[in-house]
Amino acid sequence: MDYKKLDKTTVVEYILNIKKIITYFGSDDLIADEIGDGNLNYVYRVSSAQDPQKSLIVKQAVPYLRCVGEEFSLTRERMTYEIRALQKFYSIFPNFIPNIYHASEEMSLVVMEYLDSHIIMRKGLIEKIKYKNFSNHISAYMAATLYYTSSLYLSSAQKRELVERFNGNRELCKLTEDLVFSFPFMDHETNDNENVENNPDAQKLFSDMEFKEKVLELKYKFMTQSDALLHGDLHTGSIMINENETYIIDPEFAFVGPFGFDVGALLANLVNNYIHHSVVTKDEDYKSWLLATIKDVLEKFSEKFLSFWSESKESALLVDGYLDEVSLKKYKERFVKNILRDSVGFAGCKMARRVYGVAGVEEIRGIEDEALRAEAERMALKIAREFVIKYDKIESIDEILEIMKNAG
Ligand code: ADP
Ligand code: SR1
Ligand code: MG
Ligand code: MG
Ligand code: MG
């Protein structure tokens, strides 16, 4: 079938042509709504007219960037990588990925399970919901997806095949190179220029060469380090959650990149939420929960990554018997510490990009009171700067928390 951008009517016609889906609905009386709230794509909820509980999601990429419009063209190939990543991550950890019912590279769409009792985590965190299972779930997800797609587990040939399978996602990698590591730290037309103009904090950031040099160091890692298959956009808007379950959606930025990038994205977004509650709600109890959650996520990530690693003796990297046990243990511990260090650096870039860059986050850009918003921006830049300057010397998770606590 040739590509056609769907709408609320044609998405139903499309779905009615997929036999197994009709069986699921048990009726051809379907209705659709467009519920997308992301920057790039269209997302439809298709439901049975009789029983709205019976729903599924159709996500389609369009050949442009939705949040800017047709003048910002972007090929729909990103959906090919989203489909591949959903399938790969599902094969590693099915509990954390929605069921996929149908995928079409020609139509650049995927049909998946509708997560009916889950909400976007960013919204839950703004509402001060405490998710007791989150740190367990997300640490397991990140440790497993990173470890099992890396040269620490795969053979040399398998790893190279994986790189080839995702290497073509160049447009979205370039978007990250520009929008996370470059444009938000210089005068650029894509920035939130209403805020940049006559703003001494923005001018200070743009002329902060110590910070910007370190950002370049991290950008270079992003562009050249092929450690593991990343989600590539693991912010709290890519997590759907309820009290018991955690799902990861929207891996269209997937590529084989540095270990620390997904962990850093998550860290940045939890810190942005901490900033929101420091400035807006001033809720000390919730802030403590966020600090404890960050610590738990990073500790559990390290433990689980090391535990997966202890299960295999041979891989592209390691030949059994190459190091004695004591040296191997030290090597692995240093390895994981370096992942955490890079995560802190990437988190700093990811936080700072949200201040003046094209895509803000609700926790900060959504603050209506101008003085409070400026306070949140200053706090974000302060933490982000320390993360970026100090990332390669961080010795413990507590140091990360200290940087946060001292900023507000
Ligand atoms: P984009 O790539 O445009 O950011 P997303 O995949 O993040 O698109 O989806 C946009 C929104 O659609 C999400 O924020 C969420 O509200 C909704 N959504 C996406 N997938 C599902 C799903 N499987 N179940 C329920 N809602 C979903
Ligand atoms: C204009 S695209 C901006 C951002 O949206 C996505 O979620 C990624 O974070 C990207 O950088
Ligand atoms: Mg999204
Ligand atoms: Mg499932
Ligand atoms: Mg997306």
CATH code of residue 107: 3.30.200.20
Ligand 2 contacts CB of residue 74 (under 6 A): no
Splitting the chain (408 residues) into consecutive groups of 10 residues, what average pLDDT does each group show?
94 92 87 94 96 94 93 95 98 97 96 97 98 98 98 98 97 98 97 96 98 98 98 98 98 98 99 98 98 98 98 94 96 98 98 96 97 98 98 98 96
User: Counting atoms of ligand 2 from 1, which one is nearest the CA of 233?
Assistant: 9
Same domain, 90 and 208: no
DSSP, residue by residue, 262-300: HHHHHHHHHHHHHHHIIIII--HHHHHHHHHHHHHHHHH
Same domain, 341 and 388: yes
User: Counting atoms of ligand 2 from 1, which one is nearest the CA of 237?
Assistant: 7
pLDDT of residue 152: 98
- CA of residue 252 to ligand 5 center, whole Å: 6
pLDDT of residue 26: 84
pLDDT of residue 68: 87
- CA of residue 40 to ligand 5 center, whole Å: 6
Residue 324 exposed, middle or buried by CB count within 10 Å (0-12, 13-18, 19+): exposed
- CA of residue 119 to ligand 1 center, whole Å: 10
pLDDT of residue 79: 98
- CA of residue 116 to ligand 4 center, whole Å: 12
In the chain, how many domains are there? 2
pLDDT of residue 207: 98
Q: Nearest ligand to the C-alpha of residue 349?
A: 2
Residues with Cβ within 6 A of ligand 1?
Answer: 35-41, 43, 57, 59, 98, 112-115, 120, 237, 249-250, 252
- Cα→Cα distances 365→122, 186, 377, 392, Å: 13, 19, 8, 29
pLDDT of residue 52: 87
Which residues are within 5 Å of ligand 5 (an ion), measured at CB?
A: 38, 40, 250, 252
Asked whether residue 1 is assigned to any structural domain, the reply reads: no
ipTM over 0.95: yes
Q: Domain span at residue 54?
A: 10-113
Give 242's DSSP letter.
-
Structural domain ending residue among the three candidates 113, 132, 163: 113
Asked whether residue 3 is assigned to any structural domain, the reply reads: no
Same domain, 247 and 101: no
Asked whether residue 207 is assigned to any structural domain, the reply reads: yes
Structural domain ending residue among the three candidates 113, 140, 164: 113
